Structure 1
């Protein structure tokens, strides 16, 4: 007796891919409302491990105030950004060849974080090891963007992942971010 006929298995996720909630051909194809609901819905941990995180400040009004309020109520807020002075950043600027440089976009994030002031629960570190992979964590959900060659981040695909099992996709990407965070250098405010 077959419990799950082939026709059902082909339409219902039963393996590791069931942690994938949605896939977008471009990061910019994900609705801003998705980002807003994940940011506003997180209560334990928010981690923004994008190389510049620049777009967040552009797309989400009063993001600094929203994150500061979350931190005040016990949410851990972390930013992992590239070092604007590093060789990795300089090489990426050459690849992209756009007027709004990678180092400028990083500095916009650093400026926004500085304007937030020192809030307990808000941390930032430098790392150059995530230039090709951005991971944004919101409690038990995340958005992951593997960057494609010379394309900008918003032109690369993105996956919405929800944690459902031990050592699944969510846990694997979360371990990656944890390792980068531990190796990162604190950003001095």
Structure 2
């Protein structure tokens, strides 16, 4: 020890290490809107292999992330697969959800805003969109080995529902279970013309 310097010892409480299946849970938010926009931005920007946005409308993404289309186009041009799974704006499932929500900016309109934003990106290899009405109550957003999952509660809007941030750490864990769900919906989905 040099003259004049002092050793500082900090007392640290017991270290807790998750060992169960919940170890894939990075964070939990009581509302999707409680997660910082910077979290979404870093997950989008850091993904290099695949981005999947399996939200029924995905509308909020275009509102919260400036130049998202340009960012996604650039990622696709560098080899990142970008997929959007949205509800069919003309389906009976969508119409019933609009009755439940009862808000002026309808579910169908929010889906059309996403489709319009994707169309404005222009034809880009690696960017795809499909329709599915089977994920009306569960949104899953995948960023390589991380994901954000929102189970929608009753008549609440997506931003009012809880959200989990997951990181893949094991086979057939929480991440893989939700990823399998999205894969099944994607495979059965109908291509959306962009």
Instruction: Give the Cα–Cα distance (whole angstroms) in 2 for the partners of residues 118 and 160 of structure 1.
Output: 31
Cα shift readout 1:64-115 (whole Å, capped 9, x = no counterpart): 0000000000000000000000000000000000000000000000000000
**TM-score, scaled to structure 2:** 0.92
Instruction: Give the Cα–Cα distance (whole angstroms) in 2 for the partners of residues 8 and 20 of structure 1.
Output: 20
Instruction: Give the Cα–Cα distance (whole angstroms) in 2 for the partners of residues 144 and 97 of structure 1.
Output: 24
- Residue 87 of structure 1 is matched in structure 2 by 92
The 4+ residue runs of structure 1 with deviation greater than 2 A are none
Q: 1:8: Cα distance to partner?
A: 6.2
Instruction: Give the Cα–Cα distance (whole angstroms) in 1 for the partners of residues 75 and 121 of structure 2.
Output: 12
| Rg larger in structure | 2
Q: 1:12: Cα distance to partner?
A: 2.6
Task: Give structure 1 stretches of 5+ with no counterpart.
Answer: 1-6
Instruction: Give the Cα–Cα distance (whole angstroms) in 1 for the partners of residues 183 and 40 of structure 2.
Output: 21
1:33 to 18, 29, 38: 38
CA RMSD in angstroms comes to: 1.1
2:131 is equivalent to residue 126 of structure 1: yes
Task: Give structure 2 stretches of 5+ with no counterpart.
Answer: 1-12
Q: Report the count of equivalent residues.
A: 182
**TM-score, scaled to structure 1:** 0.95
